[in-house]
Amino acid sequence: METNTAPGGVQPAGDSTMLLTEFGVWLERERGLSPVSVQCYSKQSKAFLAWTGGAGAVGGLDAGKVTAFMVGWSAGRNTWTAKAMVTSLRAFLRFAHATGRTAVPLAGAVPAVASWRMSSLPRGMKAAEIGRLLAGCDRDTAMGLRDYAILSLLARLGLRGAEAAGLQLGDIDWRAGEITVTGKGSRTERLPLPSPAGEALAAWLTGGRPSCESRSVFVTIRRPHRPVTPHLIRVIMARACEQAGLERTGAHRLRHSLATEMLRAGASLPEVGQVLRHRSMLSTSIYAKVDQNALRPLARPWPGSAA
């Protein structure tokens, strides 16, 4: 009987749950991925297992089947969604080979998604728009205090949504005016806490945060008080945009805004990369396209124009 169906057309067999759990543990131990990343990789791999017919079919995989899945699954999806599947599937196939489930390494059979690096400008928000975004939070309520503090950290420090969600009470050093941030690859770094963001944090912790057992800085307002999730950070950003009368956008836009404002204020690309905690200058290099002062000397005069 045919086991392969259209991508996403069936649910993985019961033994796939155990396999995905083991995969998650491997990602944490071997790759040092955050719980949010592990969840994303596992979700994508679940779709792959559904297409193959479950965990029992992993041993019979070959390069042709892997490529066929990726080609079929990517049809009609955008570039970033396809890239996420490529990354997750390659990780899963490395795990499958490392644990003896496949006889040969198949990660190389996952085709790359065609894209052109630095083909677009990073889209930031104007200072006035960020001001409207923050002003839209009703700081007379606990929810408004929390949302204002979160958005302040995203705008003033360029934190990723998952980093803000993961902040713990012990990560704040009030005496030194610093916070400890756990970023990609479980890297921890200490960052200076700007006064506006520090004041927003203090207002939330003293006047809005409910008393609960959680050690997370940001928790839900309603009982049971759970740590906020990266998904809730996205919801908060979307709600703030709506309240400010702005186009709905993601929390990452505030990170881009900080980078572009730093460049316009005279900061260098390495300084921007240091603030954003990029592990590679390649990640920072895209902002060179918005650094007009640095690019102007490289532009050649238009033929026939005055010297």
Whether 256 is catalytic: no
| Residue 73 near residue 113, CB atoms below 8 Å | no
**Partners of 182 in the beta sheet?**
188
Whether 278 is catalytic: yes
Catalytic residue selected from 46, 94, 160, 209: 160
Round to whole Å and give the CA distance between 227 and 36.
13
Cα dihedral angle (171, 235, 273, 266), rounded to 10 degrees? -110
Edge-to-edge, what's the strand order for the sheet holding 188-192?
Answer: 172-173, 178-182, 188-192
Catalytic residue selected from 94, 255, 256, 277: 255
Catalytic residue selected from 146, 156, 256, 278: 278
Catalytic residue selected from 65, 184, 225, 289: 184
Instruction: Measure Cα distances from 267 to 108, 120, 175, 258 in Å.
Output: 40, 21, 27, 11
Round to whole Å and give the CA distance between 307 and 294.
20
Whether 29 is catalytic: no
Q: What is the CA radius of gyration of the chain?
A: 23
Q: How many helices (H) and strands (E) does the chain have?
A: 13, 3
Catalytic residue selected from 139, 148, 253, 287: 287
Whether 223 is catalytic: no
Catalytic residue numbers, as ranges: 160, 184, 252, 255, 278, 287
